[in-house]
Amino acid sequence: MTPHIEAKKEDIKKIVIMPGDPKRAELIANKFLDNYKIVSNVRGMTTYTGTYKQKEVTIMPCGMGIASMGIYSYELFKFYDVDEIIKVGTCGCYIDNLDMGDLILVDGSYSESTYAKVQDNNSDVIMYSDEYLNNIILDTSKKINKKIKRGIIHCSDVFYEEDEEYKKVLYERYKCIACEMESFSLFHNAKKFDKKATEILTVTDNLVTGDRLSSDDRENKVNDMLVLALESVLRL
C-alpha cells in the first residue's frame, strides 16, 4: 500500500497499461480483460488486474497532467516493482501532415515542467521513451496492420494553449508534432528507477486548424490504439 494505491503488492502485475481517464480504464477491463478484479480504488482511480489472452496485466488510470502521472508512476515503479508502463492517450497535433485518428509512438517528450529538476535535480528538457518497448510496439503494429508514426511531443501543463507563435517555436526548435500532458514525468521516473516506459497516442485534435475527431471516430481510433498496446503486451 502507498498513499495513493491500496492494492496488495502481488495484485499489481509487472506490466501496466495506463490511460488517463478512469472511465477508459474501466472500458479496457470490460472489453478486453478476462477474470479481472478491482485491486485499488483510491480517489476513484479504479485499477483492474486480469488477463489479456492469458497474459497478466494491470490497467490503471493516471489522471491528468505531469503531476498526477508523476505520483502514480513513481509508486508503481518504486513500491510495486512494476517493470513496464505503456501510457495510452489522446493528443492535439501542431502540424498539418498528421490526420485525425493517426497513431503516434512517442520517442521523446519535451517539457517546460520542473518535475525532473525538483524530483531529482535533472535539468534535461527532453525525456525519452524506452527503445526496447518501442521496437516491440512497432513490430506489433506491422503484424496487426495498424499504421503508427513516431515523433517528439510536447508535454504541457496547459490544455488551453492560446499562444500560436509558441506552437510554431516548439515544432521548429524541438520538432514537437503534438501535445499531451503526462509523458514527461512517466519517462523521467522510468529512467530514474531503471524501468521501461513509452506512450501511444491517438490524434484527436488539430491545435492549428481547430479540427476535432467526431466522438464515433474517436472511439474507433482509440480502440485501434488499445488493441496495439494489448497485443504488444503479449510479446513482453
Which of residues 47, 49, 90, 141 is near ligand HPA by CB under 6 A? 90
Residue 132 or 159 having the CB closest to ligand HPA: 159
Query: Which of 118, 144, 159, 219 is in the footprint of ligand HPA by CB under 6 A?
Result: 159
Is residue 148 within the footprint of ligand HPA (CB under 6 A)? no
Task: Provide the grid cell at 215.
Answer: 466522438
Q: Which of 102, 130, 205, 224 is catalytic?
A: 205
Q: With binding defined as CB under 6 A, does residue 84 bind ligand HPA?
A: no
List binders of ligand HPA among 188-217 (CB under 6 A).
Answer: 204-205, 207
* d(C-alpha 216, C-alpha 197), whole Å: 29
* Rounded Cα gap, residues 50 and 35, in angstroms: 5
Please select the residue that binds ligand HPA; options are 60, 85, 91, 152, rule is CB under 6 A: 91
Sequence-distant contacts of 216-225: CB under 8 A, at least 24 apart: 217/100, 217/101, 218/90, 220/101, 221/100, 221/101, 221/103, 222/24, 222/88, 222/90, 224/103, 224/146, 225/88, 225/103, 225/200, 225/201
How many chain residues interact with ligand HPA (CB under 6 A)?
A: 11
Distance separating alpha carbons of residues 190 and 194, to the nearest angstrom: 6
Residue closest to ligand HPA (Cβ):
92
Asked if 205 is an active-site residue, the reply is yes
Q: Which residues are catalytic?
A: 205
What residues line the site for ligand HPA (CB under 6 A)? 90-92, 156, 159, 179-181, 204-205, 207
